[in-house]
Amino acid sequence: QAKYLAQIILVGAQVVGRAFMRALRQEFAASQAAADARGRSERPQSAAASRITGISLQEAQQILNVSNLNPEEIQKNYDHLFKVNDKSVGGSFYLQSKVVRAKERLDEELRIQAKDEKKEWKAET
C-alpha cells in the first residue's frame, strides 16, 4: 500500500508541476506581450527607460499625479507624497518606494527629452 501511495503522490506532484510550469509560461508570454505593446507606443529611448526602471512613463505620471513633464510640479508632488508615505508618520514603505521609482522614471524621461532637444538644436544650426 505504501508503494501505491508513493506512486499517487509522485504522479500528483508531476501533474501539479506541469500545470504550474504551463501557467508560468502563459504569464511570461502575457507580460512580454504587454511590454511589447507598451514599447511600441513609446519612443525607443523612452521604452528602454521603462524596461530599465520597471515602470512606464504613464504609470509614473499617475503615481505622482502629473499630466505633463513639468520639473517643478514633479518635484513638488514627489516631496509631498514622499513625506506623507514616510513610515515614521504611519505611511507605507511600499508606496514610498513606488513614489521614488516614479520620480526616477520621470527624471529619466526629462533627461531623454533634453538630449533630444539638444540634438534638434544642433541639427538646426
CA distance 5 to 13: 12
105 neighbors 116 (Cβ within 8 angstroms): no
Express each pLDDT in 54-75 by its tens digit.
788 889 999 999 998 999 999 9
How many helices (H) and strands (E) would you count in the chain?
5, 0
pTM above 0.85, yes or no: no
Provide the pLDDT for residue 64. Answer: 95
Q: Which one, of 106, 122, 118, lies nearest residue 53 by Cα? A: 106
DSSP 81-111: HHHHT-GGGT--HHHHHHHHHHHHHHHHHHH
Express each pLDDT in 94-107 by its tens digit.
999 999 999 999 99
